[in-house]
């Protein structure tokens, strides 16, 4: 089934076209992004049940972008009717004209030359099997409750089992002089968090599922319950890591965090514009092992960051960032592309229509290799299998790594010993880690239950992943 177009946006389209027409008289370029998005979160745990629309992802809103004598400006609003077009237009021109009249000493407004606005028409929808709204809130809650109760009964050390499902169904419309774009997208996610307690210490284990589609994502969630409970209990007896550099095998979610946090952020080309990314000086150079080929793009895989055009009206791409270890290019939003004199890659994304567009990742992965996971583990004399990525922070300027994983499983003479260490901080220099990759598994896994931020804000949905990788990594 294809996701249906928003009736609300269909109604607003002629009104927005009128506003656009007026804006194009006053400015050399004008566009309008309209969003009708609904996202609902369902949660069940020992402490209770909740069903609520998501405040970050749900909205009906509009963002106007103009270039005024080359100067970029935007205005966000949430209401417009046939009889308020003139008032909205007046408010836009008045407020944008007033702002920035006085700039700090030595600061000037940047002027962009000739905004590209090629003729383009898109009206596309993603597919799903079962719409969560049709499945019904009662059936969703029943399923989550069953899994949560089963988890809580697993062992007396399990103090809670938080089970959640969320989805977002959105329609976006982008209008400019030459563009008339509409897309209708739905993704869904679920997760289990098993919590175990011993004394003052509480440990948890997180098992996610995500897909481009509907409630069918939950078909595989329950199968992850036992592992979540078992791991949470195991973590209660984990030992602290002895700092050092080790041979490590990374599970796909840890690979995904390396792909996304350690390297992906460094090839966001708005960072090139600001001279904030070392990658700018490494285009055409080796940055990773020859085994590594890396992609980002809304069309790379069908996942939570799949779309047909970005929030600046640029068609979605599949960008090959690293090819056999050589850095080929970065990813780019439209305005950064104008700064750099390159083409946009469809990576201009906004948290919502009240926020600016930045260069953002979408679905980011390493390609698969040829090794078998069991052969990779067997090849390690002493090292660790790294599991359950928990958090990471980018450092495009210095390519420093800060990643945290919950579990390091000890490997001795090619075999898992059953001993586990936690928590684990991965540090080092990104190209050193990527160049040390010596084996890659023959299958990839990707997921996208979390959000990516720019600094500490601007949350957007992304997915990442890849194969199991073997690398030398400094652990602490």
Partner 1 sequence: MKAKILASLKRLSIEEYMIYVKSYKSTQMFFVKKSLDCKRAENTQIYNVNVFRSFEKDGKKMKGNSSVFVYDGMTDEEIDATLSRAYLAASFVCNPTYEAMECTENKFLTMESDLFDYTLEKCCEKISQALFAEDNREDAFINSAEVFAYEVGVEIISSTGIDSGYIKRTVSGEFVAQCKEPQDVETYKDFRYNNLDCESLKSKVRKTLEYTLERAKATEAPKAGKYRVIISDSYVGNVFSYYSERAQAGYIYAGYSTFEVGQNVQALDAEGKVAGIKGDKISMTLVPTEPLSGEGIWQRDLELLDNGVLKTYYGGLRFSRYLGIEPTGFFGCVNVAPGTMSVEDMKKEPYLWVVNFSDFQMDDFTGHFGGEIRLAFLYDGEEVRPVTGGSINGSIIDSQTTMHFSKEIQRSADFVGPYAMCFEDVPVAGA
Strand 415-421 with 451-454, pairing: unpaired
Q: Which of 2, 17, 21, 81 binds partner 1 (CB under 8 A)?
A: 81
Residues 136-195 that bind partner 1 (CB under 8 A): 137-138, 141, 159-160, 195
- Does 201 contact partner 1 by CB under 8 A? yes
What string marks each residue from 40 to 69 as x (binds partner 1 by CB under 8 A) or -? -----xxxxxxxxx-x--xxxx--------
Q: Which of 130, 342, 393, 459 binds partner 1 (CB under 8 A)?
A: 393
Both structure tokens of 64: 């106007």
Query: By C-alpha distance, which of 161, 138, 127 is closest to 42?
Result: 138
- Does 114 contact partner 1 by CB under 8 A? no
Residue 137 or 442 having the CB closest to partner 1? 137
Q: What is the DSSP string of 250-294?
A: E-HHHHHHIIIIIIGGGGBTHHHHTT--GGGGGTTSB-S-TT--E
Q: Which of 425, 432, 451, 459 binds partner 1 (CB under 8 A)?
A: 425
- Residues 475 and 424: beta-carbon distance below 8 Å: yes
What string marks each residue from 288 to 327 as x (binds partner 1 by CB under 8 A) or -? ----------------------------------------
Q: CA 106, 109, 112: angle at the middle one, nearest 5?
A: 140
* Beta-carbon count within 10 A of 134 CB: 10
Residues 426-455 that bind partner 1 (CB under 8 A): 427, 455
Residue 38 or 295 having the CB closest to partner 1? 38
Q: Give min distance, CB of 16 to partner 1, in A.
A: 12
- Does 109 contact partner 1 by CB under 8 A? yes
- Does 231 contact partner 1 by CB under 8 A? no
Q: Give min distance, CB of 262 to partner 1, in A.
A: 11
Q: Which of 21, 86, 227, 275 binds partner 1 (CB under 8 A)?
A: 275
Q: At residue 228, what are phi and psi to the nearest 5 degrees?
A: -60, -45
**What whole-number distance in Å separates Cα of residue 279 and Cα of residue 330?**
8
**What whole-number distance in Å separates Cα of residue 161 and Cα of residue 232?**
10
Helix (H) or strand (E) holding 7: helix 7-26
Q: Please tell me whether residue 358 adopts helix, strand or coil conformation.
A: strand
- Does 237 contact partner 1 by CB under 8 A? no
Q: Give 345's DSSP letter.
A: -
Q: Which of 2, 4, 10, 100 binds partner 1 (CB under 8 A)?
A: 100
């Amino acid at each position: 089934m294809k996701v249906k177009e928003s009736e609300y946006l269909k109604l607003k389209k002629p009104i927005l076209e009128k506003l656009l027409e007026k804006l194009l008289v006053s400015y050399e370029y004008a566009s309008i992004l309209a969003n009708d998005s609904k996202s609902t979160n369902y949660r069940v745990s020992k402490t209770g049940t909740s069903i609520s629309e998501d405040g970050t992802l749900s909205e009906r809103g509009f963002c106007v972008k103009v270039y005024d004598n080359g100067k970029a400006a935007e205005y966000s609003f949430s209401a417009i009717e046939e009889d308020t077009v003139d008032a909205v237009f007046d408010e836009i021109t008045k407020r944008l004209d007033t702002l920035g009249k006085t700039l700090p000493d030595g600061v000037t407004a940047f002027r962009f030359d000739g905004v590209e606005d090629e003729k383009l028409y898109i009206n596309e929808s993603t597919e799903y099997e079962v719409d969560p709204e049709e499945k019904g809130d009662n059936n969703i809650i029943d399923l989550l409750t069953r899994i949560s109760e089963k988890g809580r009964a697993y062992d007396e050390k399990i103090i809670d089992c938080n089970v959640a499902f969320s989805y977002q169904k959105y329609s976006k419309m982008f209008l400019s002089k030459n563009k008339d774009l509409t897309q209708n997208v739905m993704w869904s996610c679920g997760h289990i968090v098993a919590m175990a307690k011993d004394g003052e210490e509480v440990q948890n284990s997180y098992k996610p599922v995500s897909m481009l589609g509907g409630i069918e994502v939950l078909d595989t969630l329950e199968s992850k319950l036992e592992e979540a409970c078992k791991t949470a209990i195991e973590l209660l007896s984990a030992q602290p890591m002895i700092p050092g550099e080790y041979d490590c095998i990374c599970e796909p979610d840890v690979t995904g965090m390396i792909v996304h946090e350690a390297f992906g952020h460094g090839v966001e080309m708005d960072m090139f514009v600001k001279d904030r990314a070392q990658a700018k000086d490494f285009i055409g150079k080796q940055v990773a092992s020859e085994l590594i080929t890396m992609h980002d793009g809304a069309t790379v895989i069908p996942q939570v960051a799949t779309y047909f055009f970005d929030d600046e009206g640029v068609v979605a791409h599949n960008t090959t960032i690293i090819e056999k270890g050589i850095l080929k290019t970065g990813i780019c939003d439209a305005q950064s592309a104008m700064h750099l004199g390159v083409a946009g890659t469809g990576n201009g994304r906004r948290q919502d229509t009240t926020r600016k567009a930045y260069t953002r990742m979408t679905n980011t992965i390493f390609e698969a290799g040829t090794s078998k996971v069991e052969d990779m583990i067997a090849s390690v004399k002493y090292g660790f299998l790294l599991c359950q990525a928990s958090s990471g922070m980018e450092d495009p300027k210095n390519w420093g790594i800060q990643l945290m994983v919950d579990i390091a499983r000890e490997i001795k003479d090619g075999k898992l010993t059953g001993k586990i260490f936690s928590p684990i901080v991965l540090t080092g220099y990104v190209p050193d880690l990527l160049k040390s990759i010596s084996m890659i598994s023959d299958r990839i896994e990707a997921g996208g239950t979390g959000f990516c931020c720019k600094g500490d804000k601007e949350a957007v949905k992304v997915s990442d992943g890849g194969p199991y990788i073997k690398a030398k990594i400094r652990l602490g």
